[in-house]
Amino acid sequence: MRVGVVGASGYAGSEVVRLCGSHPDLEVVLATGESSAGVALGAHVPALAARYPDLVLAPTESVLEAELDVVFCALPHGKSQGIVAGLVERGVVVVDLGADFRLKDPDQYAAWYGEAHRAPEMLARAVYGLVERHRDELAGARLVAAPGCYPTATALALGPFVDAGVVERAGIVVDALSGVSGAGRATSERLHFARLAANAEAYGLGRHRHTPEMEAELGVELLFTPHLVPVARGLLVTAYARLVEPVSASAALALLEARYAHDPCVVVSEAPPTLKDPVGSNLCFVSVAVDERTGWLVALASIDNLIKGAAGQAIQAWNVASGRPETLGLPLTGVTP
């Protein structure tokens, strides 16, 4: 398959290119990077130089003319809307790693992203790309909206308990830690080494744009607070929900194990996962604890924010959409130490 990666100069986009290099059915023939157009990909991302010695970053609009079978869009929010409809109408399968097609309601998009959606007619055609929860819907999909990193970990941690009616659907609290690559490649004062090193910072309090995505996917009301921590990769979610009725820790763990028994990218463990466990892989580590004294369930999940939280998940969703084994070309072992 001839692949175009739009936004290949960013962290998520370059990760798509890297993973495609190990996929037997995906050949990257076009990589775009608006601010780096004309620069060799290997010069911009030296880690890719040996695998892609001749690939040069092209302007974004070149994707509209290229002969491609699948396009992975890794652009900031608002940027995919202008190109996706044209690609889909040409018969190209599109997997959008950005936020533009995750929310079905254009008014909700406008409320959280501060601008009107410019391709609302495409929202109903997009399939949410969280394979573990939408595997059947993804079969044959032509437009896939890859989930955000925080919603991925949150939905995989809490989803089984919400679906089973074990926890209340309101009053849920989600805390999360993320490495700085989740903020993208662009620099900002918040990402300066002197501020970031040996530090931790909450941000987006009460207004983080992943909140409506989580609520829509789970059918709940929740309060979400993300925290930036001084690591390059990794994401750890701790979610708190009130139990509807008493449930033992062993029963909660058994529910989690049963739900993910046939999901190759989810690892259920009795011990709580660490931030580093999945780094380098397309795995999500999940666990659960029950505090019988207070009646709270604590669900945890850990992912590599650039792989299972972005590029790997996008390829996993495309694998399913195209009828391939969902783990094809994806790393299922992390990097340790």
State the catalytic residue, choosing from 73, 149, 265, 284: 149
The CA distance from 325 to 70, in Å, is 17
21 in Cβ contact with 5 (< 8 Å): no
The CA distance from 70 to 72, in Å, is 7
The CA distance from 208 to 213, in Å, is 10
Instruction: Tell me the CA distances in angstroms from 207 to 7, 11, 130, 169, one per residue in order.
Output: 26, 24, 23, 19
User: How would DSSP label each residue in 298-319?
Assistant: EEEEEE-TTIIIIIHHHHHHHH
Question: Residue 197 — left, alpha, or beta (φ > 0 → left; ψ -120 to 50 → alpha)?
Answer: beta
The CA distance from 6 to 66, in Å, is 12
Q: Answer whether the bond into residue 337 is a cis peptide, omega within 30°.
A: yes
Burial (CB count within 10 angstroms: exposed 0-12, middle 13-18, buried 19+), residue 284: buried
Catalytic residue list contains 149: yes
All residues at 6 or more sequence positions from 188 whose CB lies less than 8 Å from its CB, including other chains: none
Instruction: Tell me the CA distances in angstroms from 158 to 6, 45, 52, 300, one per residue in order.
Output: 32, 36, 39, 8
Residue ranges of alpha helices (H) inside the chain are 11-20, 41-44, 81-89, 106-113, 131-138, 149-163, 193-196, 211-218, 249-259, 312-321
Catalytic residues: 149
